[in-house]
Amino acid sequence: MTTKLDQNTIRAKIAKLSLPTLAFIDGKDSPSSDGNTQCPINPANGRPLAQVAACTHQDVDRAIQAARRAFEQGCWSRLHPSDRKKVMLKFVDLVEKHSTELALMDSLSAGKPISDTIGIDLPDTVACLQWHAELVDKLYDKTAPTGLSNPCMIVREPIGVVGLIVPWNFPVQMAAWKLGPALAAGNSVVLKPASQTPFSAIRLAQLAWQAGLPPGVFNVIPGEGSTVGKAICCHMDVDMVAFTGSTEIGRQLLRYSAHSNLKRVILELGGKSPQIVFADAPDLDLVAQHVANAAFWNMGENCSCGSRLIVQANVKDELLQRVIKQVRSWPVGDPLDPKTRLGPLITSAHMYKVLDYITAGTQEGARCLLGGNQILQDTGGWFVEATIFDQVQNHMRIAREEIFGPVLSIMTFDTEDQAIRLANDTNYGLAASLYTTDISRANRVARALRAGTVSVNCYSEGDVTTPFGGFKESGLFGRDKSIYAHLQYTELKTIWMQLL
Ligand code: NAP
Integer Cα distance of 486 and 410 in angstroms: 38
Q: Looking at 260-390, list the stretches that DSSP marks H as alpha helix, in order from N- to C-terminal side.
A: 284-296, 316-328, 348-363
pLDDT of 304: 97
Residue 111 neighbours by CB distance under 10 Å: 32
Q: Give the confidence band of 3 by pLDDT, cuts at 50, 70, 90.
A: low
Q: Is 225 in the pocket of ligand 1 (CB under 6 A)?
A: yes
Contact yes or no for 305/295 (Cβ under 8 A): yes
Q: Looking at residues 383-393, what average pLDDT do you find? A: 98
Ligand 1: centre distance to CA 198 (Å): 13
Q: Give the separation between CA 3 and CA 117, rounded to whole angstroms.
A: 10
- Residue ranges of the chain assigned to CATH 3.40.605.10: 7-269+474-495
Confidence band for 1, pLDDT divided at 50, 70 and 90: very low
Confidence tier at 5 by pLDDT (50, 70, 90): confident
| Ligand 1 geometric centre to CA of 250 (Å) | 8
pTM of the model: 0.97
Query: By the 8 A CB rule, do 345 and 384 touch?
Result: yes
Q: How far is the CA of 245 from the centre of ligand 1 (A)?
A: 3
Fold of 274-465: Aldehyde Dehydrogenase; Chain A, domain 2 (3.40.309)
What is the average per-residue pLDDT within 154-175? 98
What confidence score (pLDDT) does residue 7 get?
87
CA atoms within 13 A on the CB side of 368: 19
Residue 272 binned pLDDT confidence (cut-offs 50, 70, 90): very high
Task: Collect all residues with Cβ–Cβ distance below 8 Å to 381 and sequence separation of at least 6.
Answer: 42, 43, 44, 45, 46, 111, 344
- Which residues of the chain does CATH 3.40.309.10 include? 274-465
Domain 7-269+474-495 is in which class?
Answer: alpha beta
Residue 42 has pLDDT above 70, yes or no: yes
Annotated catalytic residue 368? no
Which atom of ligand 1 is the closest one to the Cα of 193?
9
Average pLDDT (412-426) is: 98
**Residue 433 contacts residue 459 (beta carbons within 8 Å):** yes
Q: Across the chain, what does the average pLDDT equal?
A: 97
